[in-house]
């Protein structure tokens, strides 16, 4: 089972993005589960999400304490103590940022750190900071469990072709700051 | 054959309710239940569900509206949580004591105060003796299947009682996963229309006064019949589970589900969505050589005392994990019930655990901690102090 914790802010589409991943996983014959954790439901407040993908039935409905992967939708969250808490040694981090690795506060135990400038992509394409589909595109590059084409199909089904293109751009422009294939 | 759909617990509840062809729905939105109502209004608005949807200004009115409709012979649905349930209490009690069948979903939530909108089971547990059948679900699939079964049970001529289908707020209501949704044809074949078992209590062609002032002797007769119907429901629940399994291929064990209990020495007893973490903890402890098992209590009302006593026979230790408190006993409410259900309670090492209040998690590590404590005490029967499943303290009373 792969456990992925998402950190974002209300209004950035953490919940919808995660639901799309679950839909893509289920369509690929996997089991997927997503539990959002809201504080107060308003724009800008921190939002957590717990995403699990597995070849077997997922029974636990709990928070994720030792994630295999972290997805950070907003790089103002990298200084919050909860953001990197419990990351598994050898785990992966995907951040929506244009900043260099040194400024991201990533713990040494992370073996892969990937960055995508999803805010820039979404502001250019949609005129608003809706980074989730570009981040999902980058996620398809970093994560192995979910098939890219199935995921992009689900994005298009949920949000239309413009967001499929946004995801494709996220996929193409992801930068590996540590580990992974840094030539990409 | 149904199809796999990716749904939250609340959407699963709404879709399942729609498949049961309710004549009338009335509900008032409250976190974390709101999207049940929102999705049902969407289905009605889009013409996908032919039901009357009555907008109201409060939960008290929502229950009153479905009550009138149910008395008029309609199949009805509503849903609520926490403070909404509290506001609904007056017509809620009358619904069961009028013996009107219906299904109401409860996305369970902690009761205020302190102010909270998050998960907990205190709301449903606090109304456990208002005469309704109460059932608690672990998975989104179970929510769907139990809403469908709920109508069959509720409208069974030997039962005639309203049914609560409860599931954890947020941890289930907002959990997204794949769900095998039955087709309309399959549900139609399983669930006859309400009119097949009931003629309307209220009929304009033969007017009557419903629920007049009732003297004590007669009222006691009604109560005795109500309690008898609850006891009959124990068997109807098992029978409904078997019928559902024959039609849809899924069985949940009826009143309780037993998991790895056959050779278990230690038993965790769970309610609702905490069960999944409990099963994972049981599997992990088995790998460490600890013979643990789990019983999921599925129906809280009527209380399945005989099945629980039988499932615990020969075991050495048990813990009941509650997501609510019993203010009168310094432990969890389900634990109090368990004690009453067991004639030989004193022969077990046992304790109550309380966790998951106000949105707090009950993690696999919490469940493992419970199992480890059971393992420590299993050779010394007796009651041990209440264990509070809190992160930073060993908070035993």
Whole-angstrom distance, CA of residue A39 vs CA of residue A36: 10
Instruction: Check A22 against B4: CB less than 8 A apart.
Output: no
Q: Show residues of chain A in contact with B143, CB under 8 Å.
A: none
| Residue B240 sits in the same domain as residue B355 | no
- What is the pTM assigned to this prediction? 0.97
Token reading at A91? 């785990």
The residue from B218, B248, B278 where one domain ends is: B248
CA of residue A9 relative to chain centroid, distance? 13
Instruction: Write down which residue in B204, B228, B248 finishes a domain.
Output: B248
Range of the domain at B266: 257-396
Count how many domains chain A has: 1
Chain A residues whose CB is inside 8 A of the B361 CB are: 62-63
What is the chain A residue with the closest CA to B281?
Answer: A60
The mean pLDDT value for A29-38 works out to 93
A35 belongs to a structural domain? yes
CATH number, domain containing residue A102: 3.40.920.10
Confidence label for A184 from pLDDT (cuts 50, 70 and 90)? very low
Residues B308, B369: one domain?
yes
Angle value at C-alpha B283, between B278 and B284, nearest 5 degrees: 95
Whether residue B270 contacts residue B356, with contact meaning beta carbons closer than 8 Å, is answered with no
pLDDT score, position B1:
63
**Pairwise CB contact (< 8 Å): A19 & B175:** no
Q: Which residues of chain B have pLDDT under 50?
A: 395-397
Q: Which helix or strand (DSSP H or E) is residue A4 part of?
A: strand A2-9
Please list every residue in chain A whose beta carbon sits closer than 8 Å to the beta carbon of residue B176. Answer: 18-19, 22, 32-35
CA distance A30 to chain B (A): 9
Chain A residues touching residue B172 (CB < 8 angstroms): 61
pLDDT at B348: 98
Closest to A9 measured CA to CA, from A152, A172, A135: A135
B244 and B356 both lie in a single domain: no
- Domain ranges, residue A67: 2-178
Q: Does B142 touch chain A (CB under 8 A)?
A: no
Whether residue A184 lies inside any domain: the answer is no
Q: pLDDT tens digits, residue range B127-182? A: 999 999 999 999 999 999 999 999 999 999 999 999 999 999 999 999 999 999 99
- The answer to whether A105 and A82 are in contact (CB under 8 A) is no
Residues of B whose CB is below 8 A from A33: 175-177
Residue A28 lies in a domain: yes
For residues A25-43, average pLDDT:
87
| One domain, residues B316 and B231 | no
The CATH code of the domain that includes B212 is 3.40.50.970
Q: How far is CA B265 from CA B310, B344, B379, in A?
A: 14, 16, 10
∠ at Cα B326 (B368, B255), nearest 5°? 65
pLDDT tens profile B264-283: 999 999 999 999 999 999 99
pLDDT value for B389: 97
Looking up residue B308, the CATH number of its domain turns out to be: 3.40.50.920
Q: Tell me the DSSP string of B67-111.
A: HHHHHTT--EEEEE-HHHHHHHHHHHHHHHHTT---EEEEEEBPP
pLDDT tens digits for range B17-31 = 999 999 999 999 999
Do B266 and B214 lie in a common domain?
Answer: no
- Region A115-124: mean pLDDT is 97
Residue A182's pLDDT is: 55
- State which of B248, B271, B286 marks the end of a domain: B248
pLDDT of residue A183 exceeding 50, the answer is: no
Q: Does B276 touch chain A (CB under 8 A)?
A: yes
CB B86 within 8 A of CB B111: yes
What is the Cα B38 distance to its own chain's centre? 22
Q: What is the ipTM of this complex?
A: 0.95
> Same domain, yes or no, for B105 and B225?
yes
The answer on B98 and B237 residing in a single domain is yes
Residue A151 Cα, gap to closest chain B Cα (Å): 14
pLDDT of the residue at B196: 85
């Amino acid at each position: 089972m792969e456990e992925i914790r998402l950190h974002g802010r209300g209004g950035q589409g953490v919940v919808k993005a995660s639901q799309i991943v679950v839909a893509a996983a289920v369509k690929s014959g996997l089991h997927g589960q997503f539990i959002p954790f809201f504080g107060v439901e308003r724009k800008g407040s921190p939002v957590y999400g717990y995403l699990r993908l597995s070849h077997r039935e997922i029974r636990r409905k709990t928070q994720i304490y030792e994630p295999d992967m972290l997805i950070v939708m907003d790089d103002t969250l990298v200084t919050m103590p909860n953001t990197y808490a419990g990351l598994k040694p050898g785990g992966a981090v995907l951040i929506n940022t244009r900043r260099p690795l040194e400024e991201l506060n990533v713990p040494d135990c992370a073996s892969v750190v990937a960055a995508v400038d999803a805010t820039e992509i979404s502001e250019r394409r949609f005129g608003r900071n809706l980074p989730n589909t570009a981040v999902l595109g980058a996620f398809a590059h970093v994560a192995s469990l979910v098939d890219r084409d199935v995921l992009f199909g689900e994005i298009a089904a949920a949000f239309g072709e413009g967001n499929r293109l946004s995801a494709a751009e996220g996929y193409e422009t992801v930068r590996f700051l540590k580990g992974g294939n840094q030539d990409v | 054959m149904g199809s796999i759909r990716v749904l939250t617990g609340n959407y699963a509840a709404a879709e399942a309710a729609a498949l049961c062809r309710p004549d009338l729905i009335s509900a008032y939105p409250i976190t974390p239940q709101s999207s049940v109502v929102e999705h049902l209004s969407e289905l009605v608005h889009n013409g996908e569900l032919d039901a009357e949807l009555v907008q109201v200004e409060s939960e008290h009115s929502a229950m009153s509206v479905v009550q009138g409709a149910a008395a008029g012979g309609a199949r009805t649905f509503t849903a609520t949580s926490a403070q909404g349930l509290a506001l609904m209490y007056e017509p809620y009690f009358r619904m069961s004591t009028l013996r009107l069948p219906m299904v109401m979903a409860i996305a369970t939530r902690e009761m205020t105060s302190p102010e909270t909108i998050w998960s907990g089971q205190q709301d449903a547990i606090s109304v456990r003796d208002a005469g309704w059948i109460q059932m608690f679900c672990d998975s989104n699939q179970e929510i769907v299947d139990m809403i469908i079964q709920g109508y069959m049970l509720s409208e069974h001529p030997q039962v005639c009682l309203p049914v609560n289908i409860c599931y954890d707020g947020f941890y289930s209501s907002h959990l997204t996963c794949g769900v095998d949704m039955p087709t309309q044809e399959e549900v139609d074949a399983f669930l006859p229309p309400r009119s097949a078992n009931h003629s309307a209590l209220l009929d304009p062609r033969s007017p009557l006064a419903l629920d007049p002032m009732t003297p004590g002797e007669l009222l006691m007769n009604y109560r005795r019949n109500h309690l008898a119907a609850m006891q009959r429901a124990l068997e109807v629940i098992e029978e409904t589970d078997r019928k559902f399994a024959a039609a849809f291929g899924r069985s949940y064990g009826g009143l309780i589900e037993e998991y790895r209990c056959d050779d278990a020495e230690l038993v965790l007893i769970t309610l609702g969505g905490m069960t999944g973490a409990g099963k994972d903890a049981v599997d992990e402890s088995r790998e460490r050589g600890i013979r643990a098992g789990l019983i999921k209590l599925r129906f809280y009302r009527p209380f399945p005392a005989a099945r629980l006593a039988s499932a615990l026979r020969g075991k050495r230790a048990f813990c009941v994990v509650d997501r609510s408190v019993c203010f009168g006993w310094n432990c969890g409410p389900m634990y109090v019930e368990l004690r009453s259900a067991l004639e030989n309670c004193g022969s077990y090492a046992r304790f109550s655990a309380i966790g998951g209040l106000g949105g707090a998690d009950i993690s696999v590590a919490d469940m493992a901690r419970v199992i480890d404590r059971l393992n420590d005490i299993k050779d010394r029967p007796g009651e041990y102090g209440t264990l509070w499943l809190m992160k930073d303290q060993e908070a035993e009373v």
